[in-house]
Amino acid sequence: MVAHPGEATRSYRLRPLNQPRPIRVEADELGEPQAVVLGHECLAVAAVQDRWRIDDEWWRKEVSRLYFSLLLEDGRVVTVYHDLLKDQWRRQNWPEVGHQRTLAVSYEHTG
Amino acid sequence: MRVGCVWVFHFPVAVERRNRVALNRCSVLIGEATEQRGAVLDCSAEAEAKGVRVGMPLRQALGLCPSAYFLLPDLPRYGDAFDRILRALEAVSPLVEPAALGCAFIGLDGLNGHYRDEMALGDGLAQAVRHASGLTPSVGLAEGKFTARVAATVSAPGEVCLVPKGREGKFLSPLDVSLLPCSRDTQRHLELFGLRTMGDLASLPLGAVQAQFGGEGRRIWGLAQGIDREPLRPLRREESMRERLAFYAPLISREALVAAGRELLTRLLGQPAMGGRAARRMTLRALLSDGRCWERAIVFREATADREQMLCVLKSVVGAAPLTAPIEELSIELSGLAGETCKQEGFFSGDRRRQLQVAEAVRQLKARYGRSPVAQIVEVELWSRIPERRHALIDYDP
């Protein structure tokens, strides 16, 4: 027989974290982001630092997203994705994976 | 909104020709030749007349124009020349938007009182560009960015094309639909429908154009009428700090380059204006002895003022840099300056005594509010590829 732990029964409530938020993105005809509206500011995209696609969970609610890591004109880096099923843009922080934390990203011009 | 557009056609070629007069007598092609798969970045008007287009594979371009003088692009130099132009235009109007290399829009509302008439204002813009860069732009003045850009396109270098308010539709009407900013597919369809001029397109009912081309159709129909509501997005200058070091004897070793970088970082971080602030971006620029430039911009994940951290990144960048000639000058620019950053400690970590204090404080809060107002992040599906599935918040109940 298992002894009673002596503690009151508690109900824990899980709350979602890092939910995607709607964002206004101006994209060109190829779907490449050109500008992002943050608050009341429209900021041009200085560089697309990275892009990757996620297609997952086809067995429940299918997810198909095209992520972009964008360097904005004011130096901020934001991660946005294009929901390919709903044709909507969302902003979402992209967590670092494990301990493979990169110190910096760089881009190059060679003349 | 009244907008001016200044445009130096074939800007990279114009910069190269300004520096090397001999290039004025021949066709010029600029492109990045990497493993035989490069594309044309820019070409002179002579090469364009022979069928060469920007973006075309170099091999094809050289086939069309075999006598062309071929150059590798010097992007930092073009960027510098364009930046000088933008700064000169900012002296005329505070609203300057760079549209593309060699092309900029200028907000003109409120400037009329400073000039005799609008033509004089246009001349003032052209003169500012000439003084700053030695290059001659075409200038268009109109309501809205699109009409101003078209006005600049149809005028010759050094000329000012003025489109009076309310005459945009009439001005655009005889011009070719290829000037409209739309996809290649839409251009092809316009041609198939026999719509050659913007007047042809503007004379159609909006519903018909929209039914055929969707949202893009609505936009180009409006543009063809001279209706352009796209706002001007002025360039915002950010504070930056720059130091450079010229070498008496050009450097050939990467170790010496890192040492020079250390010296520059020490100088930059020691400046009073930098006091207590951190930088989000670092730009390295090296002037090579063959006259070319190498530039690398590094964006830190977190703003930093730590010289050793910056130096660590600099070392790895210099180590991998494809430096093709000895270096005559090195400069470092720190930008994206922010307040001093600090690291936040974990709320639930720390020594035993502190953990007990936190637990006691949370118990008191719970007694007061009925539930714990403090939450803790827990791993849920750490393996998931979907970010919002990986972690969740749970009430912290000690």
**ipTM of the shown complex:** 0.75
> Is A66's Cβ below 8 Å from some Cβ in B?
no
Dihedrals phi, psi of B222, to nearest 5 degrees: -65, -45
CA dist., res. B349 & res. B358, Å (int): 10
* A2 located within any domain: no
Dihedrals phi, psi of A41, to nearest 5 degrees: -105, 135
* A35 located within any domain: yes
CA dist., res. B142 & res. B65, Å (int): 37
The count of C-alpha atoms lying within 13 angstroms of the C-alpha of B330, restricted to the half-sphere facing its C-beta, is 24
For chain B, 398 residues long, give each residue's pLDDT as a single digit of tens.
889 999 998 899 998 888 888 788 788 888 876 545 678 888 888 888 888 888 888 888 888 888 888 888 888 888 888 989 999 999 888 889 998 888 999 998 888 788 888 888 899 999 999 998 889 999 999 988 999 999 999 988 888 998 988 888 889 989 988 888 888 888 888 889 888 899 888 888 888 888 888 888 888 898 988 888 888 888 877 788 889 898 888 888 888 889 999 999 999 988 888 877 888 889 998 888 877 788 888 888 778 888 888 999 898 888 887 777 888 889 999 988 877 666 667 777 777 888 888 889 888 988 888 888 888 888 888 888 888 888 888 888 77
Domain ranges for chain B, please list them.
170-225, 240-339, 352-395
- CATH architecture for segment(s) B170-225: Orthogonal Bundle (1.10)
* Cβ–Cβ < 8 Å for B183, B191: no
Interior CA angle at A57 toward A53 and A59, to 5°?
145
Q: pTM above the 0.95 mark?
A: no
Contact B299 A35 (CB under 8 A): no
How far are the Cα atoms of B263, B311, B343, B367 from residue B308, in angstroms, in the given order?
Answer: 12, 5, 17, 48
Contact B388 A20 (CB under 8 A): yes
What is the extent of the structural domain holding A45? 21-91
> Model confidence over A2-43: pLDDT tens digits?
666 655 555 567 888 889 999 999 988 788 899 999 888 888
Number of A:B CB contacts under 8 A?
110
CA dist., res. B32 & res. B42, Å (int): 10
Residues of A in contact with B241 (CB under 8 A): none
> Is B100's Cβ below 8 Å from some Cβ in A?
no
Q: Please count the structural domains in chain A.
A: 1
Dihedrals phi, psi of B3, to nearest 5 degrees: -130, 140
Q: Which two tokens stand for residue B344?
A: 């936040």
* A5 located within any domain: no
Contact B298 A18 (CB under 8 A): no
* A101 located within any domain: no
Sign, CA dihedral B253-B255-B259-B260, equals positive
Contact A77 B299 (CB under 8 A): yes
Contact B75 A16 (CB under 8 A): no
- CATH architecture for segment(s) B240-339: 2-Layer Sandwich (3.30)
Closest CA to B202 of B214, B220, B215: B220
> Is A101's Cβ below 8 Å from some Cβ in B?
yes
Residues 12-51 of A with CB under 8 A from B: 12-20, 29, 35, 42, 44, 49
Contact A111 B380 (CB under 8 A): no
Contacts by B81-88, CB closer than 8 A, 24 or more apart:
B81/B11, B81/B15, B81/B133, B81/B135, B82/B11, B84/B132, B84/B133, B85/B6, B85/B8, B85/B128, B85/B129, B85/B132, B85/B133, B85/B135, B86/B235, B87/B132, B88/B128, B88/B129, B88/B131, B88/B132, B88/B133
Residues in chain A: 111
Of A18, A35, A63, the CB nearest to B391: A18
Of B76, B336, B393, the CB nearest to A15: B393
How far are the Cα atoms of A108, B371, B380, B394 from residue A11, in angstroms, in the given order?
Answer: 53, 11, 17, 10
